[in-house]
Amino acid sequence: MISLTDKAAAEIRKMQERMEACGKGFRIDIVPGGCQGYSYEFGFDGEREGDIKSLSGGVTVLAGSEAAGRLDGMTVDFVSYMSG
């Protein structure tokens, strides 16, 4: 199961509204990244056959069945900072 912190869930809901993606789930995927191993991709999408679905902080979180095993137990947080 993938969970979101309260702050991450609130920010995702704001993004859904701005992107007119209400009704879509927050999809997390893992993509092979060469020497660095894997990277994460985030976006809004509809549910697909075989998806693993969970609800966290009022947000539907989706992951493909292939990625779900690697993502199980993951907690997503949101951090905002300025760097120069």
Which structural domains are found in the chain, ordered by start?
3-73 (2.60.300.12)
Model pLDDT for residues 7-33, shown as the tens digit of each residue? 999 999 999 999 998 889 999 999 887
pLDDT value at residue 35? 78
pLDDT value at residue 51? 93
pLDDT value at residue 81? 81
Model pLDDT for residues 31-81, shown as the tens digit of each residue? 887 777 888 899 999 999 999 999 999 999 999 988 888 888 899 999 988
pLDDT value at residue 82? 74
Q: How far apart are CA 58 and CA 69, in angstroms?
A: 22
